[in-house]
């Protein structure tokens, strides 16, 4: 199966249906922390939220597309760590997108926009963040 390159840059990488590449380099694994100079920030107010290095796969993939009961489509990325978020309401098991996990709404702690959900299982937790609401920003001094 051959994917068409979408930009000149994609020629440098094997064809992939997704742009989200999970870093497998052990060095990157070691440096997995939010002091990374490249952070994913709230698209509305630039509050740092997480990093590329915190990306994880859940159910075999990083990116998940879901439609909520109201018909809104969300493109979520799964992350192990995040900051600058505030929880909104109690954890809920209704209509969860990840079996076995309760969800809790997460908002930007700075501007209050809805950025995703915290998914909580008895022995695990991860962040499902709405990718179009995050923007990659460099912090050269971090
Ligand atoms: Zn914000």
d(CA 58, CA 77): 9
Whether residue 33 lies inside any domain: the answer is no
Whether residue 28 lies inside any domain: the answer is no
In sequence order, which ranges of 57-124 are alpha helices (DSSP H)? none
Question: What is the CA(134)–ligand 1 centre distance, in A?
Answer: 9
Question: What is the CA(1)–ligand 1 centre distance, in A?
Answer: 40
Whether residue 11 lies inside any domain: the answer is no
Across the beta sheet with 48-51, the strand order is 48-51, 38-42, 134-138
Question: What is the CA(113)–ligand 1 centre distance, in A?
Answer: 6
**Could you tell me the CATH number of the domain that includes residue 62?**
2.170.150.20
Q: What is the pLDDT of residues 19-64, one digit of tens each?
A: 444 444 444 444 444 566 789 999 999 999 999 999 999 999 999 9
Whether residue 67 lies inside any domain: the answer is yes
Whether residue 23 lies inside any domain: the answer is no
d(CA 121, CA 102): 6
d(CA 111, CA 89): 17
d(CA 132, CA 136): 11
Question: What is the CA(47)–ligand 1 centre distance, in A?
Answer: 5
Number of domains in the chain: 1
Gap between the terminal Cα atoms of the chain? 41
Full domain range(s) for residue 54: 38-138
Mean pLDDT on 120-142: 91
Mean pLDDT score across all residues of the chain:
82
Question: What is the CA(75)–ligand 1 centre distance, in A?
Answer: 18
This prediction's pTM:
0.73
Whether residue 88 lies inside any domain: the answer is yes
């Amino acid at each position: 199966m051959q994917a068409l390159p979408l930009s000149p840059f994609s020629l440098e990488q094997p064809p992939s249906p997704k742009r989200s590449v999970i870093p497998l380099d052990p060095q990157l694994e070691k440096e997995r922390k939010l002091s990374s100079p490249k952070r994913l920030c709230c698209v509305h107010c630039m509050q740092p939220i997480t990093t590329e290095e915190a990306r994880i796969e859940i159910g075999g993939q990083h990116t998940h597309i879901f439609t909520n009961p109201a018909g809104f489509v969300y493109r979520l990325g799964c992350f192990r760590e995040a900051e600058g978020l505030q929880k909104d309401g109690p954890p809920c098991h209704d209509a969860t997108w990840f079996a076995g996990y309760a969800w809790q709404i997460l908002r930007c702690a700075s501007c209050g926009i809805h950025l995703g959900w915290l998914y909580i299982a008895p022995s695990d937790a991860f962040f499902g963040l709405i990718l179009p609401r995050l923007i990659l920003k460099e912090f050269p001094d971090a």
